[in-house]
Structure 1
Amino acid sequence: MGHEHDDMSPESKDKRVAIAIWANAILTLAQIAGGIFAGSLALIADALHNFSDMASLVIAFAARKISRRPADASMTFGYKRIEVVAALINYTTLIIVGFYLIYEGGMRLIDPPQIKGWWVVWLGAIALAVDTLTALLTYSMQKDSVNIRALFLHNLSDALASVAVITGGALILLYDLRWVDPAITIGIAGYILYLGLTEIGGTIKTLMLGSPLNIDTDAVILALKGIDGVIDVHHVHCWQMDEHEASLDAHVVIDTGAWDQFEDIKHRIKMVLQADFAIRHSTLEFEHPDHRHRDAEIYGHG
């Protein structure tokens, strides 16, 4: 996983998120009012998606602030993982909104209402401008943060939804195809669900202390066993401490003839972990062959 770029300060990134919050708040109110007046469910669907974006932005903004707190007695690992929690909340809201819109779209598809097409087109165009602005504000930040990536996907899907809403409004104006509005709503919802369900897995895995997605733990063990003096490795735990830092715990059995060199072996192990797997934090317990754990599992505590 990459690290935050040095060309933008945390304060500048916070300012970008704050601008996006205000833009989405104003847009949400305008779309809800316009959607009710125009009778467009697609417009209200887009507004609800924008509202979830605004809530996600607020959560992300707060999470970024909290994540900078130093470790203390009650949170010895620090607070950085709160950004992963924020991402989980944001993906969950995407999924809930997606299912709700499919239900509402299905009801409207059965009995399409009268819709004011011009209102749909104009408000959809305004939404597209705001969604594009928000996506641009978060694009450069999303590469380094699962929290901001969740926001970026929210806003990217919003921009695409706004294009669909404008297209639907135009078809209603030209051909009076009222069924297009709920059909587009269902399409938007399907895309929202796709984004949420495909992205939430990695976030859940991180919170479940799963192995980092970019690290092959079997390869890590093979590399450690290949170091001179190491005869076995077991009780291995590899997890993501936060978005950017991976950690490893392991019991390492040292050959009897190399027992007096275990400090050198430890140094070589840490160098391999850092150079080959970008694992900069490791806790190693060394065992003498005569006092090693018998029938120990490679992973876990068994």
Structure 2
Amino acid sequence: MGHDHAHSHVDDSQSNKQLALAVAINVLLTVAQVIGGIFSGSLSLMADALHNLSDAAAIFIALVARKIGNKPADNTHHFGYKRAEILATLFNSSTLILIGVYLIFEAMSSYLNPQPIDGWIIVWVAAFALLIDLITALLTYRAGANSSMNIRAAFIHNVSDAMASVVVIVAGTLIILYQWYIVDLIATILISFYVIYHGVLLLKQSCRILMQAAPNNFDTQAVTCALTKNFNIEQVIAIKVWQLDDKTSHCELLINAHNSLDLAAVKHFLQHNFNIENCIIEKHNNL
């Protein structure tokens, strides 16, 4: 057991370093994109820069939230601090939506007041951004994108950044070849809608957890049938399931059951078959 515990700390430390490196890279990229956007006059490049800055902030908040979430339960927070990461996701998703809306308004303003754009600066800066986005996506993926909604959100953001950079490269190329300046505005709006889309998805997921909704695809009827079929349970009177965070579900179960019912076996069954980590069972003894 001691070896596994130490290995976990090593993994956490390494993934935290990867996240910190991802933050630093994204901040430097944002600075480069802002400078490129100013000199080229490209709004889509500025849009991509703001998206990258929001990703740097999101990764930083995810890193801080992970550290807070690892704190053990105490006399004040009986369930621990796991929801710190959910609060971070709520904040990050709300910020993404606001940035997306702001960029759309900026795109409209730019359309009414057109400015000359240097396509070559757009292409070179966006190509550099694409490389950095792919590196950052790899870092966030290795830091735990498969096991944490918060880190996974940062990973998705960086993948969307890479896609946005591709859009910007295409826009810059069309400006160079055909002087289609309107493409820059279209690219800005496409990036904005993509940012808003992911922001809304993350906002819905975090709100579901904070509002103590049942996990996605949780079927109360299926759980009830499984319990009455496999155990000496006459009736499932009530079952309430909620998520503590994106990995841990809790349950309160009220049943009519025989005295011989093994409560530990019921809890193990729920954990193994329905991913319910902890369950409080109130039993009415009929027989």
Q: 1:30 aligns with which of 29, 32, 39?
A: 32
Q: 1:276 aligns with which of 263, 273, 278?
A: 273
Q: CA deviation at 1:210?
A: 0.9
Look up the match of 2:45.
Answer: 43
Look up the match of 1:294.
Answer: none
Per-residue CA deviation, residues 221-250 of structure 1 (Å, 9 max, x unaligned), is 222223443112223210112222211111
Per-residue CA deviation, residues 76-121 of structure 1 (Å, 9 max, x unaligned), is 1011121111112122122111111111112222332101122111
Native 8 Å contact 1:120 1:165 kept in 2:
yes
Q: CA deviation at 1:6?
A: 6.6
1:222 and 2:219 matched? no
1:158 and 2:158 matched? no
SS for the counterpart of 2:181 is: coil
SS for the counterpart of 1:249 is: strand
Q: 1:89 aligns with which of 72, 91, 97?
A: 91
In the TM superposition, what are the counterparts of 1:50-69 in structure 2 within 5 Å?
Answer: 50-69=52-71
SS for the counterpart of 1:9 is: helix
Moved more, 124-133 or 85-94: 85-94
Q: CA deviation at 1:217?
A: 2.4
SS for the counterpart of 2:276 is: coil
Q: 2:242 aligns with which of 239, 242, 246?
A: 239
Stretches of structure 1 that go unaligned for 5 or more consecutive residues are 291-302
Look up the match of 1:14.
Answer: 16
Q: How many residues align?
A: 280
Moved more, 221-230 or 150-159: 221-230
Q: CA deviation at 1:198?
A: 2.8
Look up the match of 1:299.
Answer: none
Look up the match of 2:264.
Answer: 267
C-alpha distance in structure 2 between counterparts of 1:275 and 1:60, whole Å: 29
C-alpha distance in structure 2 between counterparts of 1:173 and 1:72, whole Å: 61
Native 8 Å contact 1:38 1:117 kept in 2:
yes
C-alpha distance in structure 1 between counterparts of 2:282 and 2:110, whole Å: 63
Native 8 Å contact 2:237 2:254 kept in 1:
yes
C-alpha distance in structure 2 between counterparts of 1:35 and 1:7, whole Å: 42
Look up the match of 1:115.
Answer: 117
CA RMSD, 1 decimal:
2.0
Q: CA deviation at 1:199?
A: 3.4
C-alpha distance in structure 2 between counterparts of 1:12 and 1:122, whole Å: 32
Q: CA deviation at 1:200?
A: 2.6
Native 8 Å contact 1:112 1:179 kept in 2:
no
SS for the counterpart of 1:226 is: helix
C-alpha distance in structure 2 between counterparts of 1:124 and 1:280, whole Å: 45
Look up the match of 2:215.
Answer: 212
Larger radius of gyration: 1
